[in-house]
């Protein structure tokens, strides 16, 4: 790696300041601490960096010892997308569950408690909430991460979430601007295109972001999506028309008037990396109006940081990127770092005092209220060990496959001896639906069956398997832990509106009649 400038150079410091990189391990590597001393201001944490709250607190203290005002960011939406509880499942339901309850005070309280736990661990920037309007029920990447399909509902809960999170001293980051809800493509894999006209975008996608800005969100994350109504050439993350001409422009000029930090979604996602490459993509993003480059979900090493730093420096020297634009972006990062420092001090989180009263049951209360229960005739609660048949789709990258989900663990706690089997698409294709049904019936024996599905409306193999199982065992309990679009079926049907651990617990309580 060729270093173009001295580490003390102002240009180099600015280039480092606008990066939000990740790293591997549960303690800070030497290279990361060294770069913090040279100007790096932000660090992104992922599930691989977290083993326990105490370990996380020690890690962030290690970072803060090197740079007192460091921004420690995390992708902690709660619900299906959790990093804080990546190996056990979240203590909080996700956005769809909160939207289903539609109590903005509850959403505020859940976000505040989540923020309190993050702040206690030294995390001060959360890449949440998702402000996307999930207008396409077949969306493969948003789904239960959205508060719902109604723009006004999404708007009021986005605002409540922002206010709750920031009341705990943690900066919110509304995402994915200008809205990732109307896509049938996951931007982790390819470049989605939203064909909606400008009027539709104004009346649907942009409504929650206006609410987030009005609520004072400190950051907004851009989406790697192409919207021809705004820019027919470049995705939103790289589009000056979207980031500067729309998000940043004054309200009087038709913009949203946002003055806070604009953060990109992960630059190694294929919607950017496969077309532009992360170096050129980062230069274009800063030039378009972004202030911080998120990278590290997949590329988490020093070489990546140096590549991006040097690409930005080179772009300024070659005249491709304005030095003032880079300096302005770095200034916004530092301004947010100062805000988090003062907000943390106000809450007492940096001194170890408790500035926000704990509400440990907030997530479970919300999960219980979010349940939608349909009975097909009289239902006899389970009182003996059951057999859980979990029909498991491939998890999208945002959710990840390392986080457990379902009802088996919680049902087993209430009904010891309960067993579970996992059934995926590959097995269904190989065995055929009838053979799969026979396999489940053999495993279950005389025990009642609890079938757990996730977005059954999006997976024909799952629907077929459920149909065949219900034909044979109509007393089966069905738990839908994704978007409840399919008609309720089973002796008892429970829609949890998400697959967090607390959603599984709430469903298990109903199954046994608690």
Active site residues: 188, 265
173, 127 contact by CB (below 8 A): yes
417 in the Ramachandran plot: left (φ > 0), alpha (ψ -120 to 50) or beta?
left
CA angle 416, 419, 425 (to 5 degrees): 155
Phi/psi at 135 (nearest 5 deg)?
-75, -20
Cα 126 from Cα 107, distance rounded (Å): 16
What percent of the residues of the chain are helix, what percent strand, and what percent coil, each to the nearest 5?
45, 15, 45
What is the gyration radius of the CA atoms in the chain, in angstroms? Answer: 23
Cα 453 from Cα 442, distance rounded (Å): 20
Cα 345 from Cα 164, distance rounded (Å): 17
List beta partners, residue 220.
Answer: 174, 262
How many CB atoms sit inside 10 A of residue 290's CB?
Answer: 29
List beta partners, residue 389.
Answer: 421, 451
Cα 482 from Cα 73, distance rounded (Å): 27
63, 28 contact by CB (below 8 A): yes
List beta partners, residue 451.
Answer: 389, 478
272, 278 contact by CB (below 8 A): yes
Q: SS3 string of 64-111?
A: HHHCCCCEEEECCCECCECCCCCCCCCCCCCHHHHHHHCCHHHHHHHH
490, 382 contact by CB (below 8 A): no
Q: Sign of the CA dihedral 239, 244, 245, 247?
A: positive
User: Does an H or E element contain 47, and which?
Assistant: none
Residue 196: alpha-carbon gap to chain centroid: 24
490 in the Ramachandran plot: left (φ > 0), alpha (ψ -120 to 50) or beta?
left
Q: SS3 string of 181-227?
A: CCCCCCCCCCCCECCCCHHHHHHCCHHHHHHHHHCCCCEEEECCCEE
Helix (H, G, I), strand (E, B) or coil at 354: coil
Counts for the chain of helices (H) and strands (E), in that order? 19, 14
What is the number of residues in the chain?
514
CA angle 491, 496, 497 (to 5 degrees): 135
The tokens of 438 are what? 């026979």
241, 231 contact by CB (below 8 A): yes
């Amino acid at each position: 790696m060729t270093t173009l400038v001295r580490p003390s150079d102002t240009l180099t410091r600015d280039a480092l300041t606008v990066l939000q990189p990740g790293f591997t391990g549960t303690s800070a590597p030497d290279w990361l601490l060294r770069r913090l001393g040279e100007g790096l201001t932000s660090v992104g944490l992922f599930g691989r960096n977290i083993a326990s709250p105490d370990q996380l607190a020690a890690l962030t203290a290690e970072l803060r010892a090197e740079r007192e005002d460091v921004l420690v960011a995390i992708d902690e939406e709660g619900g299906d997308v959790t990093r804080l509880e990546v190996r056990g499942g979240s203590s909080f339901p996700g956005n769809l569950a909160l939207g289903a309850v539609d109590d903005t005070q509850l959403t505020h309280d859940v976000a505040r408690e989540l923020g309190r736990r993050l702040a206690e661990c030294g995390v001060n920037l959360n890449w949440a909430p998702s402000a996307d309007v999930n207008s396409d029920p077949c969306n493969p990447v948003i789904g239960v991460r959205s508060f719902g399909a109604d723009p006004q509902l999404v708007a009021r809960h986005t605002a409540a979430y922002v206010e709750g999170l920031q009341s705990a001293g943690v900066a919110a980051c509304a995402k994915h601007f200008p809205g990732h809800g109307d896509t049938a493509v996951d931007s982790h894999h390819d470049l989605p295109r939203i064909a909606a006209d400008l009027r539709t975008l104004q009346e649907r996608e942009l409504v929650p972001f206006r609410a987030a800005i009005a609520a004072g969100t400190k950051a907004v994350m851009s989406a790697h999506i192409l919207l021809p109504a705004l820019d027919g050439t470049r995705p939103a993350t790289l589009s000056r028309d979207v980031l500067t001409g729309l998000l940043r422009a004054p309200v009087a000029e038709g913009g949203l008037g946002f003055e806070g930090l604009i953060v990109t979604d992960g630059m190694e996602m294929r919607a950017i990396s496969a077309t532009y490459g992360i170096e050129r993509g980062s230069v274009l993003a800063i030039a378009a109006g972004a202030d911080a480059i998120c990278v590290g979900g997949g590329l988490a090493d020093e070489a990546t940081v140096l590549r991006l730093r040097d690409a930005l420096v080179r772009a300024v020297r070659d005249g491709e990127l304005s030095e003032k634009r880079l300096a302005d972006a770095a200034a916004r990062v530092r301004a947010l770092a100062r805000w988090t420092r003062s907000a943390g001090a106000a809450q007492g989180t940096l001194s170890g005092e408790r500035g926000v009263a704990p509400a440990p049951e907030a997530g479970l209360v919300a999960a219980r209220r979010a349940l939608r229960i349909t009975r097909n005739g009289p239902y006899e609660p389970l009182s003996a060990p059951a057999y859980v048949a979990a029909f498991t789709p491939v998890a999208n990258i945002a959710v990840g496959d390392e986080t457990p989900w379902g009802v088996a663990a919680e049902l087993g706690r209430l009904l010891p001896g309960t067993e579970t089997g996992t059934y995926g698409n590959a097995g269904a294709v190989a065995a055929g639906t009838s053979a799969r049904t026979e396999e489940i019936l053999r495993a279950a024996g005389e025990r009642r069956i609890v079938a757990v599905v996730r977005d059954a409306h999006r997976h024909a193999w799952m629907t077929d398997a459920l149909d065949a199982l219900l034909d044979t065992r109509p007393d089966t309990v069905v738990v839908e832990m994704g978007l409840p679009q399919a008609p309720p079926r089973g002796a008892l049907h429970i829609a949890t509106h998400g697959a967090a651990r607390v959603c599984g617990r709430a469903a298990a309580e109903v199954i046994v009649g608690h």
